Amino acid sequence: MGVEEFRALCLSQKGTTEEFPFGPENLVYKVMGKMFAMVSLDRIPAQCNLKCDPQRAMDLREQYDGTIFGAYHMNKQHWNTLLLNRLPPPLVVELTEHSYGLVVAGLTKKQREQLESI
C-alpha cells in the first residue's frame, strides 16, 4: 500500500481530519482532535504509525519482524510503525481501523455523541 492509498483509508474513517502538526514531513490523522495515525512523507519505504493494543502490538512485532516495530518518538507500548508496502493491504486496513477504534473508545461520551452526529 502506498501513501496515497493509506491517506484515502484514513480519510474514509468517520470524522477524520488531516494536518501537519509536526512539520511538512509527517501527515497526522485525527478523530475528534485525537491522533490515530501518522504517515511519514519523506521515508522510503513508506511507513506509518498506528495506535495498537499493547499485547497485540508485541505479537505483531514478533510475527512481522522487520516490517512492524515500536514507533520512533512515540510510546512504543501503544504505537507501532508499519512499513506500508511490505505488508498485505488487508492487514494495514485492519490495523488502521483498530487504531481508529481504540481512539474512539477513549473519547468522552460527549465527543462520541458528536462523532455519531457527523
For 1-118, list the strands marked E by DSSP. Answer: 16-19, 26-31, 34-40, 47-51, 68-70, 79-83
Span 71-97, average pLDDT = 95
Predicted confidence (pLDDT) at residue 73 exceeds the cutoff of 90 = no
Dihedral-angle region of residue 15 (phi above 0 means left; psi in -120 to 50 means alpha; beta otherwise): left
pLDDT tens across 27-59, in order?
Answer: 999 999 999 999 999 999 999 999 999 999 999
Going by pLDDT thresholds of 50, 70 and 90, the confidence category of residue 107 is very high
pLDDT tens across 1-13, in order?
Answer: 999 999 999 999 9
In terms of pTM, does the model score above 0.85?
Answer: yes
Q: What's the mean per-residue pLDDT of the chain?
A: 96
Domains of the chain are: 3-104 (3.90.1150.30)
